[in-house]
Amino acid sequence: MKLSLRGVGKTYSGRRGETNALCPLDMDVREGEFISLVGPSGCGKSTLLHIVAGLEPPTVGTVDLDGERVRGPGAELGLMFQQQTLFPWLSVRDNVRFPLTLANRCARGRAGDADRQAAQVEGLLRLVGLWDFRDSYPAELSGGMQQRAALARALVGQPEVLLMDEPFGALDAQTREEMQELLLHLIQRHRITTLFVTHDVDEALLLSDRVVVFSERPGRVLASLDVTFARAARSSELKLDEAFLHQKREILALLRGRPRTATQRDRLLLGLTNTRTEGGS
C-alpha cells in the first residue's frame, strides 16, 4: 500500500478549548490511486491533508508512506493549495525550481546535477504551458497561470504522493475546467498517487478513482465510493453521462442527509451500490 492511515484523528487545543476536528479513521491508498475527499466545510479534510503532509501531527494514529512512518514534511510529498502560494519576488521559473534549490541546500532531496534539474523544470513549464512566461513574476500572471505554476512546482520534486487542497477553488469556471483537464492529462501520464480535497462533486467524479465522503465535524468517513467510469473517457462532456449523474446523486444524498454513520440500512435506503464504509469509529 502506498499510504496507510491507521486510527488517525485530530483534536485541536487552543485558548477557546478543544475542537474535535477529525474522528479516528483508517484509510489505505494504492499506488497511483487518485482519491477525492469531499464533505461539509469544517469537517477536517484540510486537517487530514496536513497530517498526511507531515505539517500537523495527529492527536492519535499513524501515517505510513511506503511502509515508513511520516514524521514531518519531505520531498516525497508534493503540495498544492487553493491560495496563491508562489513567492512574489521569484520568477515563474525560480518558483518552480524552488523545491529543488531547497533540496540541494539541505542535501537530502533527489537532486541531481544542475543540467538535469534545468531540463526537468523546462519540461514541466512546457507541460503546463508556461514556458513563454518563465521569466515573468507571479503578479504578472492570471490566477489560472499562477495555479499552473503551483502545479509544476508541486510536481518538480517528482513526489511519491500529491496532496491538493481545493487547488482550483478560487478559479473561474472555464479556467477551472482547463486545469482539471490538465491535471487529468498529467495523472494519466504519470499515475501519481493523489489526495485531492474539493467540495465540488463534479470535480471529484471527473478526476478520481475513489471518492471518500465525510460527515460534518468531527469528520468521519460516511462512504468510500469507487468511481465506475473509465478515466480514459473523461472530459467535461462526462458530466452529461447517466452513470456520472447516478454517482453524483449518491454523493449528494450522503452530503445532504449527513447521516452520522453510514450503516448498511442507510446505504440501502439511499439506494447506494458499490459503497463500502471505511474507518470512522
Single-letter amino acid, residue 105? R
Q: How far is the CB of 13 from ligand ADP (least distance, A)?
A: 8
Q: How far is the CB of 195 from ligand ADP (least distance, A)?
A: 12
Q: How far is the CB of 4 from ligand ADP (least distance, A)?
A: 21
Nearer CB in complex with ligand ADP: 14/67: 14
Alpha-carbon gap, residue 187 to 171, rounded angstroms: 20
Nearer CB in complex with ligand ADP: 39/99: 39
Q: Which residues bind ligand ADP (CB under 6 A)?
A: 12, 14, 19, 21, 39, 41-47, 217
Q: How far is the CB of 2 from ligand ADP (least distance, A)?
A: 22
> What is the grid cell recorded at 91?
520568477
> What is the grid cell recorded at 29?
491508498
Nearer CB in complex with ligand ADP: 22/65: 22
Nearer CB in complex with ligand ADP: 49/124: 49
Nearer CB in complex with ligand ADP: 8/21: 21
Q: How far is the CB of 12 from ligand ADP (least distance, A)?
A: 3
Residue 122 makes CB contacts below 8 A (sequence gap 6+) with 131
Alpha-carbon gap, residue 140 to 224, rounded angstroms: 41
Nearer CB in complex with ligand ADP: 45/267: 45
Q: How far is the CB of 43 from ligand ADP (least distance, A)?
A: 4
